[in-house]
Amino acid sequence: MPRSKGAVSIRDVAAAAGVSVATVSRVLSPATADVPMRKETRDKVERAIDELGYRPNDLARALLQHRTAAIGLVVPDISNPYYPPLVRGVEDVASSHGYRVVLCNTDRDPAKITGYLDTLIKTRVDGIVVAGGGWADVPERTAVLGRYRTGLVAVGRHLTAHPSVRIDNVAASRAAAEHLIGLGHRRITFVGGPATSTTVQDRAQGFRDALKASGLDRLAPAVRYGDFTEESGYALAREILRPSRPPTALLCANDRVALGAYAAAADTARRIPDDVSIVGFDDTPIARYVRPTLTTVAIPTYEMGSAAMRLLLAQFGGDGGPALETMPTRLVVRGSAAAPPGGGPDA
C-alpha cells in the first residue's frame, strides 16, 4: 500500500481501507470499542493506520470532548534546583488522575509569561499551575493572570485572586534572622533576589521585622537586591565583605545566592562561619554537600506542587477548595552559622 505524502488524514485511512470515515472513527474511539464490527473490517482499518503511520489529531478530539487531559505548568527558572521537586509533585498527582503536564520555562520574562499563558489557553489545556512568586513592578504582569478566571492555581504569593499554595515567607525569614541574632550577630545583611519579586519582598520584610523586634533597626539594616543566581550572590557578597569591618552574617534569598556568597567569602579571605555566617533559603540538595554545610530554611516544594495540583482537580470537580493553603517551613541548622568573631555579640 503506497504511503501518502505529507500529513495523513482520517480520510486517507478510510480510502486505503475501503471504508467510510465514520467506520475509521469507530475503530479509533474508545467509546465505541464494544460496538459490533466485522473483524475483517477492523483489521483492514488497523492495517491502514499502521502502514500510513496515521496519528489522530488530539486537539481536534479534545475540542469535541471539551477536555485535553493536559495541564500547563509555568515555572520561572527550571535550572533553579528549587523547582524540579515542585514539578515532580504536580506531575505525580496529575499523572495519577490521567493528566499530562506541559512544562513552560519563562526565565522571569514578562513577554514569555504572557506568551506561554496565551498558548496554553489556545491549546485548550484543562488547567494551569503558575509557580514562583508574583511581581509587583509591572501591573500588566498580574493582569495576565487575572484574565484567566477558572482552572488556574498559583504557587507563591501572586497579586491575583486565584487559589494559591504558598509558605509564610515573612515568618520563615524572621525565624532565620532571629537565629543569627540569637548567635550574637548584630551586623547582618540580607542578600536578596529581584526587588520586584513578592517572595523577596516578604523575606526582606521578615528580616527587618526580626531586627526591629531586637532593637537592631537603629543600625539601619542593610538589604541588597540582585537576582536568584550564584553570580548575583557572588557579586553582592564580594562587595559587602570587602570593607575592613564587614557584616558578620549574611541572610541570603535562596541557596543559589548563598552558594555565590560562599565563593565570595573564599575570595575575600573570610572563613565560614569563623569570620562570616551564611544562611540560605530552600534547602536544595547543595546545602548538604557544600562545606561547611549550609544552614537554610527548608521548604516542602514537592508537597506544594502536589497541593497545587489537588486544588486544580478540586476546581475541575466544581469544588473550589481553600483559596489559600499555607505550607510549613523549618530552619535547618547546619555548619555555616555560628557565633560572630570573639564569641559574643558583635558591636
pLDDT tens for each residue of 186-203: 999 999 999 989 999 999
Question: Distances in Å between the alpha carbon of 287 and those of 103, 203, 249, 272?
Answer: 26, 19, 17, 14
CATH number of the CATH domain containing 127: 3.40.50.2300
Same domain, 178 and 292: yes
pLDDT top residue among 337 and 124: 337
The total of structural domains in the chain comes to 3
Domain stop point among 20, 35, 56: 56
Residues 16 and 48 sit within 8 Å (Cβ to Cβ): yes
pLDDT of residue 21: 85
Q: How confident is the model at residue 238 (pLDDT cuts 50, 70, 90)?
A: very high
Same domain, 36 and 113: no
Task: For residue 3, tell me if it sits in a domain.
Answer: no
Q: Per residue in 289-312, pLDDT tens?
A: 999 999 999 999 999 999 999 999
Residues in CB range of 5: below 8 A, 6 or more apart = none
Other CB atoms within 10 A of residue 201 CB: 21
**Helices 21-28 and 39-52: angle between axes, nearest 10 degrees:** 90
pLDDT of residue 54: 80
Chain-centroid distance, C-alpha 64: 32
Cell 555579640 maps to which residue?
A: 345
Task: For residue 245, tell me if it sits in a domain.
Answer: yes
Q: Per residue in 65-77, pLDDT tens?
A: 456 789 999 999 9
CATH number of the CATH domain containing 20: 1.10.260
Task: For residue 291, tell me if it sits in a domain.
Answer: yes
Task: For residue 309, tell me if it sits in a domain.
Answer: yes
Task: For residue 176, tell me if it sits in a domain.
Answer: yes
Joined together, the cell numbers standing for residue 119 give 498558548
Same domain, 290 and 316: no
Same domain, 211 and 192: yes
Task: For residue 125, tell me if it sits in a domain.
Answer: yes
Q: Per residue in 93-152, pLDDT tens?
A: 999 999 999 999 999 887 888 888 888 888 889 999 999 877 655 555 555 555 665 588
Question: By mean pLDDT, which of 1-15, 260-274, 293-307 is the weakest?
Answer: 1-15
Q: How confident is the model at residue 244 (pLDDT cuts 50, 70, 90)?
A: confident
% of the chain at pLDDT higher than 70: 85
Q: Across the chain, what does the average pLDDT equal?
A: 87
Same domain, 177 and 287: yes
Q: How confident is the model at residue 212 (pLDDT cuts 50, 70, 90)?
A: very high
Joined together, the cell numbers standing for residue 8 give 495523513
Q: Is the peptide bond before 110 cis (omega within 30 degrees of 0)?
A: no
Is the pLDDT at 4 greater than 70, yes or no?
A: no
Same domain, 267 and 185: yes
Same domain, 263 and 321: no
pLDDT of residue 111: 83
Same domain, 175 and 147: no
Joined together, the cell numbers standing for residue 204 give 526582606
Is the pLDDT at 343 greater than 70, yes or no?
A: no
Same domain, 125 and 212: no
pLDDT of residue 2: 47
Same domain, 184 and 81: no
Same domain, 133 and 76: yes
The letter for the amino acid at 76 is: P
What is the span of the domain harbouring residue 266? Answer: 169-298
Task: For residue 346, tell me if it sits in a domain.
Answer: no
Task: For residue 61, tell me if it sits in a domain.
Answer: no
Same domain, 289 and 201: yes
